[in-house]
Each structure stands twice: as structure tokens, then as C-alpha cells.
Amino acid sequence: MERTRTEAERNLKEGGFLDVAHWKKDDAFQNALKKISTVMYDFEYNKRQPYCKNCAVKAVKQEIARLNENVIKKMENKESSVNLEFNIDYDKFGGADKFEKVNETEIVEDKLLDGMRQSTITGKYKNYICKTCSSHIDMEFKNSELDTEKIKSGKIPIQ
Ligand SMILES: [Zn+2]
């Protein structure tokens, strides 16, 4: 059933100051996960750089624990307003410099060439390991994209 959102719920989505009675850890966590997804998508699909979701989620959990302690303290002191702003720079968990690039693995697919099925290299995975938590991130690059990169960097002359 649909119900109208309360002012407190809207405020929580935007972060910032809020009545302590409306603080919900689970909602804050869900909102943060959505934010992580958006930033991660931007890194992986727009910037084509790896992003460590593990590190981002860990930072969010620590931040929520910190805010939750604040809320409990405020309630004990009978204060009604608390700053629930997330002090997290989500961008810092992304970018090739945050990872060791271990190797590249060729992507081999069966393709029909002149009526014959042949194994063809269609691209490669770039394999990254997070310098902070050692998570493995593999990013898939098609040959067409890799060629565009080479043209841009001057490794292949434009025809
Ligand atoms: Zn990590």
C-alpha cells in the first residue's frame, strides 16, 4: 500500500540535520548503498576505471556506527537535533591508482568466420587488486574500445 513519506524520511535521504527520533540505521545504510551504486557505475561505465565496493561499504558501516553513537548520546542528553551528514568521499574508492593492475586476460569467444566456428580474441579483462582490502576487480574491455584507446594515445595512427 502507498503511503506518503514523512518530512523526516525526506530529510534523511538528503542527509543533514534531523530529529533524532527518526534516525533509522537501516534506511541510512540502504541510501548509502544506492549512492555507492551510482558512483560505482560512473567509474566503471563512464570513466572506465575500477571501483572498490568493499572499501566503500566498509566506510559506510563505520560511518553509520559513528552516527548511531551520536544519536544515542543526543537522546541520552534529551537533545532533539543531530547532524546526520555522512562524512564520506565516495570517489576515493575508485580510480586505477587505488589498485594494483595484476595482469590482463584475453577474452576468447567462438565466432562464425566464413561459415567456420573459430576461437577469436574479442577483448580482454584488466585484472585489478585493491591496495587497501585486496579485493579482485576484473573489468571487461572489447577490442573496439581498446583500439579507440590506442588511437587516442597515439599508439595507432588514425586511418
Ligand atoms: Zn578495497
pLDDT digits (tens, 9 = 90+) for 9-49: 455 455 555 566 677 888 889 999 999 999 999 999 999 99
Residue 69 pLDDT > 60, yes or no?
yes
Task: Give residue 51 CA to ligand 1 midpoint distance, Å.
Answer: 8
Residue 158 pLDDT > 80, yes or no?
no
Pair 18, 8: CB distance under 8 Å = yes
Residue 108 pLDDT > 60, yes or no?
yes
Task: Give residue 151 CA to ligand 1 midpoint distance, Å.
Answer: 31
Task: Give residue 116 CA to ligand 1 midpoint distance, Å.
Answer: 43
Residue 81 pLDDT > 70, yes or no?
yes
Residue 156 pLDDT > 90, yes or no?
no
Q: Indicate the angle between helix axes 25-41 and 7-14, nearest 10 degrees.
A: 40
CA 65, CA 92: separation in Å to the nearest integer? 20
Task: Give residue 99 CA to ligand 1 midpoint distance, Å.
Answer: 8
Q: What integer is the mean pLDDT of 112-121?
A: 89
Task: Give residue 29 CA to ligand 1 midpoint distance, Å.
Answer: 18
Regarding predicted confidence, which is higher, 113 or 92? 92
Task: Give residue 105 CA to ligand 1 midpoint distance, Å.
Answer: 21
What is the model's pLDDT at position 3?
47
Query: pTM for this one?
Result: 0.76
Task: Give residue 85 CA to ligand 1 midpoint distance, Å.
Answer: 23
CA 148, CA 145: separation in Å to the nearest integer? 5
What is the model's pLDDT at position 41?
97
What is the model's pLDDT at position 1?
42
- 140 Cβ partners below 8 Å, 6+ apart? 107, 123, 124, 125
